[in-house]
Amino acid sequence: MIKHLLCALALSWTVAASCQAQTVDLDKATIAQLRAAMDAGQLTSERLVRLSLARMDAYDDKGPQINAVITRNPRALAEARALDAELKAKGRRSPLHGIPVVLKDNFDTADLATTGGSIFLEGSIPPDDAFLVKKLREAGAVILAKVNLSEFASGGAYSSLGGQTRNPHDLLRSPLGSSGGTGAAIAAGYAPLGLGTDTGGSVRWPAAANGIVGLRPTHGLLSRDGIIPLSLSFDTAGPLARNVSDVAVALGLLAGVDPADPATAKSQGRAQTDYTPYLKADALKGVRIGVARDFMGQDAEFDWVMEASIAVMKAAGATIVDVRLPRWLIESKGEFYSAVRMSEFPVQLQAYLATLKPGYPRTLDEMIERSYRLPAPRPDGAGPNATRWSLLRREQASVALTDPAYTAVRDQALPLVVAALDGVFTANRLDAIIYPPLAERPELISRTGGTRAATPGGGASSGTNLASLSGFPELVVPAGFTTDQLPVGLSFIGRAFDEGKILGIGYAFEQATQARRQPVHTPPLKGEALSIGARKP
Catalytic residues: 104, 178, 202
- How far apart, in whole angstroms, are the C-alpha atoms of residue 481 and residue 504? 23
- How far apart, in whole angstroms, are the C-alpha atoms of residue 251 and residue 155? 26
Secondary structure string (H, E, C) spanning 41-79 = CCCCHHHHHHHHHHHHHHHCCCCCCCCCEEEECCCHHHH
Count of other CB atoms within 10 angstroms of residue 284: 26
Nearest to 274 by CA among 134, 102, 96: 96
With 0-12 / 13-18 / 19 or more C-beta atoms within 10 angstroms meaning exposed / middle / buried, residue 182 is buried
Q: Go through the chain and tell me how many residues it has.
A: 537
Nearest to 98 by CA among 26, 49, 37, 146: 49
Chain centroid, CA 375 distance in Å: 33
CA angle 526, 527, 530 (to 5 degrees): 135
Count of other CB atoms within 10 angstroms of residue 277: 11
- How far apart, in whole angstroms, are the C-alpha atoms of residue 333 and residue 331? 6
CA angle 251, 238, 506 (to 5 degrees): 65
CA dihedral (3, 7, 12, 14) positive or negative: positive
